[in-house]
Amino acid sequence: MRHKIIVLLSFFIIGTTSAQIYEIGVFLGGSNFIGDVGATTYIAPNNLAIGGLLKWNRSPRHSFRASLTYAKLEGIDSKSIDNKRIARNYSFENDIVELSAGMEFTFFDFDLHITGNKTTPYLYTGISVAHHDNYFFTATGDYRSENTTSWAFGIPIVFGIKTTITNHIILAGEVGARYTFSDELDGSMPDADFRQNLSFGNTNSNDWYVFTGITLTYTFGQRPCYCSY
């Protein structure tokens, strides 16, 4: 009986492996921040964002996706159109490393084993977590480090368009906003409890940041069988 189970598990593993196709690649683009410091333009990349991503295509219409991205976030009040922010004249910089995982949905079938060019819009969402240093603004407006770090969880909302360049190379352009469950990325909400009196801005509105750029991925793996999905 034990041998039969081993044989059945072996067939299952082999069948699952042959029903997979993967993509691995890079993301290159820019980032911008939306919060209590700086401009509030939704798509205005002003700093580098770079990373890598991996996809597991489960059907021509959906894929599991994971990515790791480094970006610099920056906010400068003088670049805002809000006169109050311009007069305040605060600015901040913060580096983040984001891990994101979720599901990508294509608007049209994107079967990589059919010859010819394929192009489709797509949506991606899931969960993200960004590691960042903690900062605060003093009563005189100086930007200071708290010498601690935090994790900002969020929800990515990404829209893009991808197309095949060759049988194994896929190029995509995308814009992805991250709504976070944190108000600490720009220093407007100090992490330390004893500095809460230094908080400012809209404490009921959390931070956002946006990645805008391109991805270039390489596909590999055996021809999948999509008949079960």
Mean per-residue pLDDT, 162-182: 96
In a domain, residue 228? The reply is no
In a domain, residue 15? The reply is no
Predicted pLDDT at 71:
98
Cβ contact 109:96 at 8 Å: no
DSSP-derived secondary structure for 100-146: EEEEEEESS---TTSSS--EEEEEEEEEEEEEEEEEEE-TT--EEEE
Of 17, 49, 13, 16, which is closest to residue 30 (Cα–Cα)? 49
In a domain, residue 200? The reply is yes
CA-CA-CA-CA torsion sign (57, 59, 60, 61): negative
Cβ contact 134:190 at 8 Å: yes
Q: Say whether pLDDT at 11 is over 70.
A: no
Q: Which domain, by its residues, includes 110?
A: 21-220
Cβ contact 111:61 at 8 Å: no
In a domain, residue 3? The reply is no
Kindly give, in sequence order, each residue whose CB lies less than 8 Å from that of residue 46, ignoring residues fewer than 6 positions away: 30, 31, 32, 74
Residue 221: pLDDT band with limits 50, 70, 90 = confident
In a domain, residue 11? The reply is no
Please tell me the pTM assigned to this model: 0.86
Q: How many domains does the chain have?
A: 1
Predicted pLDDT at 94:
98
Predicted pLDDT at 190:
96
Mean pLDDT of the chain: 89
Residue 8: pLDDT band with limits 50, 70, 90 = very low
Mean per-residue pLDDT, 43-70: 96
In a domain, residue 2? The reply is no
Cα separation of 108 and 123, whole Å?
A: 11
In a domain, residue 59? The reply is yes
Residue 157, domain CATH: 2.40.160.20
Q: Say whether pLDDT at 150 is over 80.
A: yes
In a domain, residue 229? The reply is no
